[in-house]
Amino acid sequence: MKSKVIAILLLTIVATATLGTAASEFLSVERVYIQGNAKAFIFQPSTDGEIKLLKQGYVGGVLTFRSESRRWKSLRTKNLHSAPTPVIVYFTKDGKIGIKSIVPGRKLVLDGMFPVEDVLQPSKQPTLNLPLTSRIKYRVRSLLGTSSCPWGYEELNARYCIIENWEYLKDSYYSESRTFVEWVPFMGLKVRTEGGKKIGRIGASWGIQLTTSTRGMWSFSVDGIPVIDFGSSYSGSTLKVSYAPEPDVRTENGYLDRYLNIPLKYVVVIYNIPVYDKWKKQYASIPIAGVYPLEVMMSGFHEAKEQDLNKGKLLTDYLVSSHFPTSNTGSKVKVFRTTRYGTYDNIVFEFQGSSSYKFYSVPLGGSAASWLWSKLPGVGALSISFSYSKTSQSVVTYGIRVMNAPPNQQYYATILKRDIELANNNVELAMYFIIIDDGTDSMPPCFGNLCPTSIKHPTLTS
């Protein structure tokens, strides 16, 4: 009898543990403290390629919901990886929209970011699948004249109505996600010189070290306006990649192209938020796209040498399939003169964010950009962003020097940069891509689809 009781107890313990493990494997309860209140939709990409609606309605105070985070974390990999944090799209009563990442332990401040009218695009009336109870409710509301919003919408303020229930929408056009695995250029260099100003040799010292102190960033485009927000720190093994040709690399008659690339897995999401403008009596939507770097598909130490050029994708003399963001992307120009020995050291550009974090950004991959363009052509290209604190072990180094050129000649170095919004502060994201030009043309060469601005205006740097 005792043995039977013990056996039943053991079975009960095992069954309970199994059920508990199964439940915890796929359900992650999130609790977030909110400052302010707003009409909100909370989404998260799912591992099966869908977008999960985690919560909707008016939120404030303490927000509790179940996320997909445990499901993402159950994907085993030794590489650096980070689960995409849930995303909240919210509307404040003063007619503004905001979009942020929901990070456990961080207070969520629901302040408006952009006026709705600034990011609105006219669109067709959405097809809704309204249940009977909702049809009755909207019919009564219409008869009583308590709202001028169309069926399926609720009032935000005197001008705008917002879709009331996301689950009424029948078309996947309103939210979708896709995961991509591609080689992405992290650093690049173009040298374009000729004639009496031909540069013969260039020195380079490039390095990337990513550790678990690196944080993934959600990069968003709200109708073309770029925004970034912090995601989660990475788990997994450190990656070190370096390129430092010794003592230098020869150009091809004054021309040189070098790109250092890393394979990334990242998720791209799109949202079309239905809105109704009561003043114009017009249906519209707010197009939003986002990208989050899920995994660095390589770990360990990798030293790229000149003899490895184009034998794989790590080091190439051509730009791998990329689509540089054009919105809010510009350039900085440094004018320099070689010494009497035909050299110049430290063509280095420093970028610093307005917080305690540093940021860098790389262009979205080609197939992802094509997919995004086919879905939301007006949203603009995205960049994939990372951050690391000043005290962390994650670093990015980028140095270039002229080793052999005509003496006492003037050159131009143009680097891509991007102004972007982090919370309510504008920050500068470095894009480590430089063009060295001899100044014979009024415009420097293009990187992919992005052509930097004129190089004729800056003053000489001694």
Q: What is the pLDDT along the chain (462 residues), one digit of tens a residue?
A: 545 544 444 444 444 444 343 444 445 788 899 999 999 999 999 988 889 999 999 999 998 899 888 888 877 889 999 999 999 999 999 999 999 999 988 899 998 899 999 999 999 999 999 888 888 888 888 787 777 899 999 999 999 999 999 999 988 789 999 999 999 999 999 999 999 999 999 999 999 999 998 988 999 999 988 899 999 889 999 999 999 998 899 999 999 999 999 999 999 999 999 999 999 999 999 999 999 999 999 999 999 999 999 999 999 999 998 888 888 888 888 999 999 999 999 887 766 655 677 888 899 888 898 899 888 887 877 899 988 877 778 888 899 999 999 999 999 999 888 888 775 577 778 889 999 999 888 788 888 888 887 665 555 544
What is the pLDDT at residue 455? 60
What is the pLDDT at residue 460? 56
Q: Residue 225 and residue 418: Cα distance in Å, rounded? A: 12
DSSP string across 40-97 = EEEEEE-TTS-EEEEEEEEEEEEEEEEESHHHHHTS--SS-B-PPPPEEEEEETTTEE
pTM of the model: 0.88
What is the pLDDT at residue 150? 92
Task: Name residue 161's beta-bridge partners.
Answer: 155, 276
Furthest CA-CA distance within the chain: 100
Q: Is 353 left (phi over 0), alpha (psi -120 to 50) or beta?
A: beta
Instruction: Report the candidate in 295, 261, 292, 297 with the shortest Cα–Cα distance to residue 185.
Output: 261
Which two structure tokens, joined as six digits, stand for 164?
A: 């009331």
Domain ranges for the chain: 28-176, 179-268+290-461
Q: What is the CA radius of gyration of the chain?
A: 26
Which H or E run contains 6? helix 2-26
CB 271 within 8 A of CB 174: yes
HSE-CB for 153 with a 13 A CA cutoff: 26
CB 83 within 8 A of CB 72: yes
What is the pLDDT at residue 24? 40
- Tell me the torsion sign for CA atoms 338, 340, 346, 350: negative
Which two structure tokens, joined as six digits, stand for 83?
A: 């689960």
Task: Name residue 265's beta-bridge partners.
Answer: 181, 295
Burial environment of residue 18 by CB neighbours within 10 A (0 to 12, 13 to 18, 19 or more) = exposed
- Tell me the torsion sign for CA atoms 359, 364, 365, 371: positive
User: How, if at all, do strands 410-422 and 225-233 pair?
Assistant: parallel
What is the pLDDT at residue 189? 95
Whether omega for the bond prior to residue 247 falls within 30 degrees of 0, making it cis, is yes
